[in-house]
């Protein structure tokens, strides 16, 4: 198997692992899972899904690959000076994977998906439920997930009396 085929097959395995990866609890402008899926689908030669879930072939949004293409194939796109063009080409990230680096990616993602380090470095109840305020972390999680909201008076009571 050639190096290119090995990288392509490794990228397909990484995509399968990333699809098992849980979604982020908090919505950010950029999602780790979505950005890495897009990156490795492109390397694997798979269709890249857009925001709506459809393939990106019909989307009219300019992608980073199209920008890279414009910068790389022309000597002076859009009237840019040559020194500015060289700075842009130097700033564009280049994905250069080898079979060994893809295997390392796969091993790392497998460990993360299987919670290897969470299980290996298990934290006891002393940290999760401190003696001074055993409900502290559960209150925070309930507030984040929206299960139980504290009003202003309950929050003040918690601050002053710790209950």
Full pLDDT tens readout for the chain, 163 residues: 567 788 889 989 999 999 998 888 777 778 888 888 988 998 888 888 755 444 444 444 556 667 666 666 666 555 666 777 677 666 666 667 888 999 999 999 999 999 898 888 888 888 888 888 888 888 888 878 777 777 788 778 877 876 6
Token readout for 79 is 């009237």
Domain residue ranges in the chain: 3-120, 125-161
> What is residue 55's three-state secondary structure?
strand
Angle between helix 3-20 and helix 32-44 axes, rounded to 10 deg: 150
């Amino acid at each position: 198997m050639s190096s290119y085929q090995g990288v392509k097959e490794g990228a397909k395995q990484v995509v399968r692992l990333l699809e098992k990866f849980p979604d982020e609890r908090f919505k950010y402008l950029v999602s780790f899972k979505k950005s890495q899926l897009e990156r490795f689908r492109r390397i694997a030669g798979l269709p890249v899904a857009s925001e709506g879930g459809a393939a990106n072939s019909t989307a009219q949004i300019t992608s980073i690959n199209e920008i890279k293409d414009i910068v790389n194939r022309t000597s002076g796109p859009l009237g840019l000076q040559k020194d500015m063009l060289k700075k842009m080409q130097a700033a564009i990230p280049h994905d250069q994977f080898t079979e060994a680096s893809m295997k390392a990616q796969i091993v790392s993602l497998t460990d993360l998906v299987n919670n290897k380090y969470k299980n290996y470095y298990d934290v006891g109840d002393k940290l999760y439920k401190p003696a001074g305020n055993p409900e502290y972390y559960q209150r925070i999680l309930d507030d984040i997930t929206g299960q139980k909201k504290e009003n202003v008076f309950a929050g003040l009571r918690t601050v002053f009396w710790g209950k």
